[in-house]
Structure 1
Amino acid sequence: MSRASSFTSASLLALLSIACANETERPTDTTGVTTLAATSTDGSETADSADTTTTTNTNADDGDPCTNADDCAPGQVCYPASGECGPAGGCGIDDDCPEGQICEDNLCVIGGECGGFEFSIEAVPPNLLIMLDRSGSMDGSVPNTNLNRWEVAKVAIEQVTTSFDEQIRFGLATYSACVGNGCSAGTVVVPIADQNAAAINGFLATTVGAGSNNGDNVNNQGLIEYLCDSGDPETSTGKSLQAQVANPSLQDLERDNAILLITDGAESGSCVDNGNDGPTAAGNLFGQAIPVKVFAVGFGGANVGEVNDIAEAGGTETGYLADQAAELDMALAQIANAVATCTFELDQVPPDPNEIFVFFDKDPAGVPNDPNNGWTYDPMTNTVTFHGTACEAIKSGVIVDIDIVYGCNEPPIG
């Protein structure tokens, strides 16, 4: 598959050259229609002009001459090119084997010229839930702008969701829910979905940073005054993260699943229940059978140690700190690039996973089957995932063409 610059769309095409065809085709007749060999009920090949009155030769041995399967012993087939009897999958000469196989020791094995069967591959976009702090402190001003933190966060979210709309399945949650004493867990306000930037930014466009007691008052411009200002503790980070444990939309076996937390303050200690503070809840998310990574961004007055602890427990090593608007933009872009997929689904299942070979830009050296800096195949989802330097090469646009070949350890021609 070739492209002009980089892999930025959700659907990519690449060649998967399959060396093993399952059917042997007969030559095309004068009308241009290909005639396939007939198949008997036991899967053996029969001649097109088989005489139904022919008596089965129950005394035939391997290699005895034949014109069709009825000339052979039960369980044997008549090889189409050599005209010899033998077990299914066997052969007398190379021409008895399907395209892409040769005859060795009377068995058809992979070899010869690779076939030209083209497969398409499609990127599998990951799920990423943005979890945005709506505590009253988000009304604080951002240096070198005339905007508050909530407004700057909205701009940054609009940029990252628009830029990665086809590569990532975004959703949006806000916290606290601003009810009761302010320590309530946040809620998902825009569920995760394909190409969700418009829905997320449409929701955020209706909100302003001015606070209200319950977070749902409407000002004279018709905008929701969305931030909490109850006067009670409101930064319920741990509660809000814990609420996403076992969330079905983040337990997708076929995709990577992650949360992007944006907060401007330390977690309110009185909001911690049963020891489930931010780092503990992030660890619970990452420790699920289908792990959910947690990326953490500290914006404005965030607690640096807490942000790093959440990231470490959530499987993303270290947090991001942003005091300026440009720093927040950069942090979200870096996280989105880290999340963006290097997983591609094949539209058909390879016959033998051990006979898959991968090539970048027709380089015969190939890409190693390596979970650190190569690729792996998952038979459960029929996907190929690139890792480490191989993944980074795809994301950076260095790679123009990907070929996934079955059976022959060489890139296809053309």
Structure 2
Amino acid sequence: MLRASSIYSVVVLAALSSCASGNEGDSSSGEPGSIEPGSDDPGYGEGAGDPGGVPGDLGPNADPGESVDCGRQNFNVERKPASILLVLDRSASMLDDPSGDEGTPSKWELVVPALQEVIAATNEAASWGLKVFPQGDRTGTCTEESFPSDILIPVAPNNAPTVNQAISSTTAEGDGTPTGDAINKGVEYLQTIQNDDPKYILLATDGDPSCPKSDSDEFAVQAVTNAAAAGFHTFVVGIASQESKVEALNGLAVAGLEPRQDPDPLAPKFYLAATKDQLVTSLLTITGEISTCLFPLSAPPPNPDHVGVFVGEQPVTHDATGTDGWNYTGPDMMTIQLYGAACEQVASSGAGSVKVIFGCKDDPIY
């Protein structure tokens, strides 16, 4: 099971293209291949080179006639986070207890602390945003005033405190459940975000869609289907939902292309949340599955075909098909992505760091 709370660094050992033959020295120096102590050359100074290594040492396989410096440099970058828009049902039925009666704790009292716990725990692994529905308090079921329109908190990195404060300030006083409209507005917003971060919708609701009144279930399923077609998969969390709600929530979960995995074909397709602990478990499962294996680089490799990737000490092969290994995500070669077993290992809590080596032209990698 993947856990979004596991954040690992990519250690990039950049052996830059300044590798030179004996007649290609530093232009600032009077001697071929020489390096001035205290200069700006990245191969010199504190922290340069491999730990314990000698600045300029190319290793035992280096050509003795080669320049003494390859510009080795160590730097850390973090895994690219996923963007998650939480679409939260604040209809008045959330004030009922999990059985649907007027008891305590209410579904709202269960969902708020659970959401806030997981959002805080995944602050670095996910860029969170928040949309609530329906709008207004006691405005009438499925009235224009109740239809969702605004994004309460836009998606942003390290956004957990802001989102959690907004959740604390939200009350479950809305009339009706305009799920389809909420998803449609969420998609409109996500389409305005101009970056290549993976983006998801997390729908947390306690019941059937009810707006529009004539075909609310079909309207909501179509909205989730359209969201997936636009590139935004939807995870569905059913908050203490009664059995009568299962069919509608199953339809939404399947349409969102992120149904809950269970060997029992009769098990619900949405994530269950009848207690706070169960909700926390469901949310951590979801955020773990969303956790990315994307690693931005601070610069493109000087030799794109001479790059090595390791998970811990285990080498990962280059795989242009994106099936099992690593590959660049685009022609700019500024981000690498892990696939298959390597992705599962680095995203799990027991994995070590990922190391990327930019090699000189003839320097062995593996």
Q: Same fold (TM over 0.5)?
A: yes
- In the other structure, the counterpart of 1:142 is 98
Who is 2:296 aligned against?
A: 345
The AA in structure 2 aligned to 1:133 is: D
CA distances 1:165-197 after superposition (whole Å, capped 9, x unpaired) = 111111111111144643513542222122222
Q: Structure 1 CA distance, aligned partners of 2:313 and 2:284?
A: 31
Q: Does 1:161 align with 2:119?
A: yes
> Is it true that 1:131 corresponds to 2:87 in the alignment?
yes
In the alignment, what sits opposite 1:333?
A: 284
Aligned residues: 310
3-state secondary structure, aligned to 1:328:
helix
The alpha-carbon distance between structure 1 residues 8 and 409, as it changes in their structure 2 partners (threshold 3 A), is farther
Q: Which amino acid aligns with 1:399?
A: A
**Does structure 1 residue 196 correspond to structure 2 residue 159?**
yes
The one of 363, 366, 372 equivalent to 2:316 is 366
Structure 2 counterpart SS, 1:116: coil
Question: What amino acid sits opposite 1:166 in the alignment?
Answer: E
- SS of the residue corresponding to residue 155 of structure 2 reads coil
What SS does structure 2 have at the residue aligned with 1:400?
coil
Among residues 12, 36, 56, which one is paired with 1:15 in the alignment?
A: 12
Q: Deviations over 1:287-333 (max 9, x none)?
A: 12xx1111111122262233232222222134212222222111111
Q: Which has the larger radius of gyration?
A: 1
What letter matches 1:28 in structure 2? S
Q: Secondary structure at the match of 2:128?
A: strand
Residues 1:32 and 1:133: Cα distance change in structure 2 (over 3 Å): closer
- Give 1:176's match in structure 2, choosing from 130, 134, 143: 134
Segment of structure 1 superposing worse, 177-186 or 234-243: 177-186
Percent pairwise identity: 25
1:92-137 CA-to-partner distances (Å, cap 9, x unmatched) read xx6887779xxxxxxxxxxxxx873434333211110111111121
| Greater shift in the superposed pair: 149-158 or 173-182 | 173-182
- 1:15-414 to structure 2, matched below 5 A, reads 15-18=12-15, 20-21=17-18, 24-25=25-26, 26-28=32-34, 32=37, 116-142=72-98, 146-178=104-136, 179=139, 181-182=141-142, 184-185=147-148, 187-208=150-171, 226-229=172-175, 234-248=176-190, 251-268=193-210, 270-271=212-213, 277-288=219-230, 291-301=231-241, 303-318=245-260, 319-363=270-314, 365-369=315-319, 371-379=322-330, 380=332, 382-407=334-359, 410=365
Which amino acid counterpart does residue 162 of structure 2 have in structure 1? A
The offset of 1:381, in angstroms, is 6.9
Distance 2:4 2:207 in 1: 37
Q: Is contact 2:4–2:289 with CA below 8 Å preserved after alignment? A: no
One-letter code of the match for 1:141?
D
Secondary structure of the residue aligned to 1:338 is helix
Which whole-Å CA distance do the structure 2 matches of 1:401 and 1:35 have between them? 28
User: Normalized per residue, which structure has more strand?
Assistant: 1
CA distance in structure 2 between the aligned counterparts of 1:15 and 1:272, rounded to whole angstroms = 57
Change (3 A) 1:204 1:375: same
Specify the code of the residue in structure 1 equivalent to 2:156. Answer: A
Q: Distance in 2 between matches of 1:383 and 1:137?
A: 45
- For structure 2, list consecutive stretches of 5 or more residues without a partner in the other structure: 27-31, 42-62, 261-269
Question: Do the aligned partners of residues 317 and 115 (structure 1) sit closer, same or farther apart at CA in structure 2, a change above 3 Å counting?
Answer: farther
Question: Residue 234 of structure 2: SS of its match in structure 1?
Answer: strand
CA distance in 1, matches of 2:168, 2:93: 19
Please give the alpha-carbon distance, in whole angstroms, between the structure 1 residues aligned to 2:329 and 2:40.
36
Contact persistence 1:99–1:115 (CA under 8 A): no
Deviation per residue, 1:179-228 (Å, 9 max, x gap): 464351354222212222211222222344xxxxxxxxxxxxxxxxx422
Return structure 1 stretches of 4+ with deviation > 6 angstroms: 33-36, 94-100, 272-276
Q: Which has the higher contact order (CA 8 A, sep 6+)?
A: 2
Matched AA of 1:156 = A
2: CA distance between counterparts of 1:186 and 1:18?
51
Stretch deviating more after TM superposition (240-249 or 156-165): 240-249
